[in-house]
Chain A
Amino acid sequence: MSTTAPVTTPTPTPGSASTASPRRRRPGGGSPGLRLGAVLVALVCLLPLAVVALKAFEAGPSEVAALLLRPRVGELMRNTLALVALTGTLATVLGVGAAWLVERTSLPLAGLWRVLFVAPLAIPAFVNSFAWSTVLPGLEGLGGAVLVTTLSYFPFVFLPVAAMLRSADPGLEEAARALGLGPWRTAAKVGLAQVRPALLGGVLLVALHLLSEFGALEMLRFPTFTTAILDQFDVAFDSRSGSVLALVLVGLAVALLTVELLARGRTRYVRVGSGAARRPARARLGRATPLALLAVTALAVLAVGVPAWVTGTWLTRPEEALEPTVLWPALWSTVRLALVAALVTTLATLPAAWLLARRRTWFGVLVERVSYLASSVPGVVVALALITLSITWARSLYQTSAVLVLAYVVLFIPRAMVSTRAAVAAVPPELSDAARSLGDGPLRTFVRVQLPLMLRGTLAGSALVAIAVSTELTATLLLAPTGTQTLSTAFWEASASLDYAAAAPYAAALVLLSAPLTWLLLRSGPEEHTP
């Protein structure tokens, strides 16, 4: 899951009116078919976790203990935790700082910076890492890993925090000031409290991406659990020791989710009523303006300038002609896999989204959360599990693209779920009722009324999945059918032999394919911005 789109963004909650509504169950709203579908999807998402656990414990606790309690695991744990702590902190500082400058100060060209600070998401971390290794050939270890991953992942913090700062109710801060708090204490007590959920969500995303990052870290010679699992795969294919390491990785992911949940606490962040319909005031930077401009320029140059410039120079070197015979098939495989996976993933989100949009029951929430949990598991774990599964129990599927698509579905379901839920929630039940009462059957109602209304939202979700798929590396490396190469795996192969010439076109294609992501993410914020 060394990819770039957020796994969770603030989830749209259906209006409280429909939750508390005493109305009868809508046609299809909670039908057994839908429930069955939702449960099936959730079970499929859980399958990899179960398989990895089974495989790891196959040999009994003593062997598991022997595999776990060795210095190498300690080293991997230290590396992984240090990376999460350092990059998490730096990403918070950069993300919150940049978001505040862009949204709450008189910084010139706010619109430009807003785009530039989301743009790194369009550059896969393993491409960024390769670019930085070209600029600083000695870059390696923890320092290198922190540098590259911070620059690649700070937008995960910037994006939600900026959105929150843009739309937050200025009334609270005004009240705090009126009650005698100074500007700094207001920012600390009220401002920080308002952005806390967005910040926590963003940091969680950064941490989950760090757990699953492979390419960037392998290149920088910084071993973590994910790179070690791939080493195990190289040595022994589908091995027990790999599964034991994978289980530790799952444990770490679950721990992160729990910590985030606890840190979020029970504080209510909602307000009653529509609040003040005003933009928050912007702090005047005054004479600090040049300094602030210098800071944002430096960040933009490091995060976007360096990888863009390096990829550009690779491309323009004369001896490095494009090799269309390799590029086109890889591009075509990538696009095909991305489209099929996007379609299947979106379809898979429909049952749960439908259940949740109509009625927020514990059942629906459980089904949804289960799929989120499975998706926060790194791609390498899902891939390993699906290999075990297909080689042992489903040989007809072994090494087929069906298994690869299944991995993508499990990994990227939350991206589609967010949009699908919003889309389903946007269909007024009254319209369907009207269609039904006028004589349309359920299918006809779906096609004529519900589908057109949902199309826009589900398309956005599908696009997010498609982009995630086209830059996925780890699961694709393990699961690609014989003869299939995607842009990421082709880039990986060329970059592993440090062949800049061969890697450049794939890098450029990957960036071009993910570029629409920036646009989609900017547009899908909770509120359209006005310049």
Chain B
Amino acid sequence: MNEKIESRKPPVATTGIIGWLRINLFFNWTNSLITIFVIYCLYQFVPWILDWTVFSADFKYNYLGQQITNQEMCSRNLDPKNGGACWAVIYVRFYQFIYGFYPREEVWRVNISYVMLAIALLPLLITKLPYRKIFLNFTYIFPIIAYFLLNGGFGLPDISTNKWGGLLVTLVLGCTGIALAFPIGVLLALGRRSNLPVISMMCVLFIEFIRGVPLITLLFFGMVMLPLFLPEGIDMDGLVRVLVAVTLFQSAYMAEVIRGGLQAIPTGQYEAARSLGMSYWRMNFQIILPQAIRISIPPIVNTSIGLFKDTTLVIIVGLLDLLGIGRGTLADTNWLGLSYEIYFFVSLVFFIFTFGMSRYSLYLEKKLKTGINMGAD
């Protein structure tokens, strides 16, 4: 009697939603307790935050249907029974948050720059992009186009950087800092490991000095002392001076991150490259650096995110970035007291950018399989 036994379904408790819940949320009693606690917290918090940010909030009109032009017209200030956020301040000030004090009739230049930035990032984000080579060339020349477009030249009227502000300043500082610091950092890292004593000493000095002082100090140095050292008549732009300080700071950190990656490369890789007769530069650029940078992706993105957020420090030297515009808005007698709305909005914008960067890093890690053992040990 060889009766065929039908394959049975797995126990209900181990598959489907119930199984997933059991394994992930209620595996044992501590697990269950934590799950219940977290659900309770979410239950308390989520409806409240949704209510505050969306359901009871004013966007453009208050509950009487009037268009809001100052904080006194916010529903929650007209009648304390209405508890929601007053997003009208963001609506009214949106232009300033995004463009600063850039003249309205010239704002198309900023818009084009934003669009071009997105196009320039495309080939970096999508490796299978058709015509990627052409797009990459555009990425390389984009900073030059953007500089003339934003600043003026070739028949476009000059817009002093003093008029730039908000997200524009944040992005200019963040993107330039990150983009310039990377190549400088690579050179510094190589220099620090170089066998030539003068070069390695200079790189060590530079890195240790810059890394040893806070960014604020460098910003002050750029803003206040640099003009005193420049010959008379040369008026270096305030934004440029801050950019120099930010780039120096970031490149020192980047150098150390990449040096970490370099140290993880086994000596065998160097020896193999040399035994093939490769020159120093060829060895580094074709064998060593591709591997070193690959394993340094998480810390590279980490310091880049750090820099992006550190750009808010420029308010100390009097540049109004996204956060600075927010604070300026809070100082307008029309919008006094709306700090929750403004700080919420500013953090949301920062979160979108930094979260995007961290997702990009994860995608790169997956694509390049940085986790694997690289062998040769």
Instruction: State yes or no: do A and B come from one complex.
Output: no
Binding site for B on A (CB under 8 A): none
- Interface residues, chain B, with chain A CB atoms under 8 Å away: none
